[in-house]
Amino acid sequence: MNRIKEHPEGVAQDIIDAYSSLDAATVYEANGQRGAMDHAKTPIAWGQRMCGSALPVQCHPADNLMLHAAIALAQPGDVIIADVGPLRDAGYWGEVTTVAAMARGVVGLVISGSIRDRAAIVKRGFPVWSGAVCMRGTAKCTPGSINYPVVVGGITVHAGDLVLADDDGVVVVNQTDLVDVLAKARERESKETKMMEQLEAGALTLDLLGLRAALETLGIHI
């Protein structure tokens, strides 16, 4: 069985640039509240942002061989999305893989398992969203897959999907929906900007969001 699919063409740079200016939560809402990974996928340092094309990788538990293979196949602008199974007590990614990935133009990592060398990775400015930190080593002998769909953070990720991440977490947008979701996200951002101005002028969220009726239905009058 061929465990590595041909690497698809990545998301167009102008689309990546457009999404890069948006918040992950805004894109999640514009995407019909779809694509948000679970709360366990948090940045290893606050203030990180990342946007690029998904490069899905599946590894055997406690074995990071396929991550090394993925780095070798990566294209500039890729985000490695790694499913390493349920085992958390192993550091699948560290400073060595970070340096190698950055040299290939990889813009970030989302991994279901643990990383190590956290301080060194942060110092190098490489964005990572991870489930945990663990210094224990990994084997490099078991096959996995690259560019086949993986499930990370409860979300199925396909090669070439757009991945956007910030302090709020990680959102994935299917490559077939990118133009539509982008338009909706920009519209939502514009509406929220106007709402903030109204709130600063003294308006209430109860009125702007039409929530008074919901309260009155519950017998609450304000």
> Could you read off the pLDDT of 163-197 as tens digits, one per residue?
999 999 999 999 999 999 999 999 999 999 999 99
The full 3-state SS of 135-187, as one line of letters, equals CCCCECCCCCEECCCEEECCEEECCCCEEEEECCEEEEECHHHHHHHHHHHHH
pTM, 2 dp:
0.94
pLDDT in the model for residue 178:
98
pLDDT in the model for residue 2:
64
Fold for 13-176, please state it: Glucose Oxidase; domain 1 (3.50.30)
Model confidence at 129, pLDDT cuts 50, 70, 90, reads: very high
pLDDT in tens, 20-54: 999 999 999 999 999 999 999 999 999 999 999 99
Q: What letter represents residue 21's amino acid?
A: S
pLDDT in the model for residue 21:
96
What DSSP designation does 4 have? B
Is 90 exceeded by the pLDDT of residue 61? yes
Is 90 exceeded by the pLDDT of residue 147? yes
Is 60 exceeded by the pLDDT of residue 1? no
pLDDT in the model for residue 8:
85
Residue ranges, comma separated, of all CATH 3.50.30.40 domains in the chain are: 13-176
Task: At 133, give phi and psi (nearest 5°).
Answer: -125, 130
How much of the chain is in helix, strand and coil states, percent to nearest 5?
A: 35, 25, 40
- What is the arithmetic mean of pLDDT over 145-153? 97
Is 90 exceeded by the pLDDT of residue 72? yes
71 within 8 A of 82, measured Cβ to Cβ = no
Model confidence at 155, pLDDT cuts 50, 70, 90, reads: very high
pLDDT in tens, 8-25: 889 999 999 999 999 999
Model confidence at 7, pLDDT cuts 50, 70, 90, reads: confident
pLDDT in tens, 74-106: 999 999 999 999 889 999 999 999 999 999 999
